[in-house]
Structure 1
Amino acid sequence: MANVTRYKTSKGETRYRVRYRKPDGTQTDKRGFKRKIDAENWAAKRVTTAKAEGTYIDPQAGKATVGELGPAWLAKKKLSTKPSHYRTLEGAWEKWVKPEWGNTPVSAVTRETTQQWVTGISQGKTVKDERGNEIVLAKPRSASVVLRAHGVLAGILDDAKKDRRIPDNPARGIELPRKRRKKHVYLTAEQLDRLAGSVTPWRRDLVLVLGLCGMRWGELIPLRVMDVDLEKHRIYIGVSAPMVGGVIIPDDTKTYKARAIMYPVVLDPIMRRLCADRKPGDLLFEQPGREGMMIREWGNASRDDGWLSVGLRRAGIPGHLTIHDLRHTAASLMVRAGANVKAVQRQLGHKSAAMTLDVYADLFDDDLDELSERMGEMLARENVGKMWANEVSRAA
Structure 2
Amino acid sequence: MASLTTHTRKDGTRSYYVKWYDRELRKDTSQSFRDRGKAETLKLYLDANQNTLSLARQAKKQADSAGYTVWDAVQEYLDDLKDTDTSRKYRRDMDRHLRGTELAGIALSELEPKAIATWLDGLRSNITKASPEGEPAAWKTKSNRHAVVSSALKRQVGKRLKENPAFGVLGKRDELPTHEPVDLSLEQLRTLRERAQTPFFRLIIWTLTVTGMRWGELVELRRKDLHRDPDTGQVTIRIRRAIKNNKRIGLTKTMMSRRDVPLDLELSRALWAHAEGLRGNDLIFPDTDAPAQQLYNGTFHKQCWQPLMHQLESEGVLMERPWVHDLRHNHIAHLLRKGVRPNVVQKRVGHERLEYTLRIYDMISMEDDQSAALVVTW
Task: Find the aligned partners of 1:153 and 1:282 in 2 and give their Cα distance.
Answer: 39
Contact persistence 1:118–1:176 (CA under 8 A):
no
**CA RMSD across the alignment:** 4.0
> CA offsets, 1:48-72, max 9 Å, x none?
xxxxxxxxxx546645432222134
1:87 deviation in Å?
A: 6.0
> CA offsets, 1:301-335, max 9 Å, x none?
16998343246346822321222222112222222
Stretch moving more, 360-369 or 188-197: 360-369
1:115 deviation in Å?
A: 3.8
> CA offsets, 1:101-120, max 9 Å, x none?
44433232113433444445
Structure 1 segment 85-234 matched on structure 2, within 5 A: 89-100=90-101, 101-121=103-123, 141-144=136-139, 146-161=142-157, 163-174=158-169, 179=174, 180-181=176-177, 182-199=179-196, 200-231=198-229, 233-234=235-236
Shift in alpha-carbon separation, 1:227–1:303, aligned structure 2, 3 A: closer
Task: Find the aligned partners of 1:214 and 1:308 in 2 and give their Cα distance.
Answer: 20
1:184 deviation in Å?
A: 0.7
Aligned twin of 1:65: 69
Stretch moving more, 111-120 or 219-228: 111-120
Task: Find the aligned partners of 2:136 and 2:89 in 1 and give their Cα distance.
Answer: 15
Runs of at least 4 residues of structure 1 off by over 6 A?
Answer: 16-19, 76-79, 137-140, 302-305, 364-371
Task: Find the aligned partners of 1:315 and 1:270 in 2 and give their Cα distance.
Answer: 29
Q: Unpaired segments of 5 or more residues in structure 2?
A: 1-21, 25-47, 125-131, 373-378
Contact persistence 1:61–1:164 (CA under 8 A):
no
Task: Find the aligned partners of 1:108 and 1:114 in 2 and give their Cα distance.
Answer: 12
Structure (1/2) with the larger helix percentage: 1
1:148 deviation in Å?
A: 4.3
Structure 1 segment 18-33 matched on structure 2, within 5 A: 20-22=52-54, 27-28=56-57, 30=59
Kindly tell me the number of residue pairs found equivalent between the two proteins. Answer: 310
Aligned twin of 1:249: 248
Shift in alpha-carbon separation, 1:193–1:150, aligned structure 2, 3 A: same
Shift in alpha-carbon separation, 1:21–1:307, aligned structure 2, 3 A: same
- The amino acid across from 1:206 in the alignment is I
Contact persistence 1:302–1:323 (CA under 8 A):
no
Q: Unpaired segments of 5 or more residues in structure 1?
A: 4-15, 32-57, 123-136, 372-396
1:196 deviation in Å?
A: 0.9
1:140 deviation in Å?
A: 6.6
1:251 is paired with a residue whose SS is strand
- The amino acid across from 2:271 in the alignment is M
Aligned twin of 1:6: none
1:205 deviation in Å?
A: 0.4
How much identity, in percent, do the aligned residues show?
21
> CA offsets, 1:364-388, max 9 Å, x none?
78679999xxxxxxxxxxxxxxxxx
Aligned twin of 1:130: none
Aligned twin of 2:296: 296
- The amino acid across from 2:185 in the alignment is T
Contact persistence 2:243–2:249 (CA under 8 A):
yes
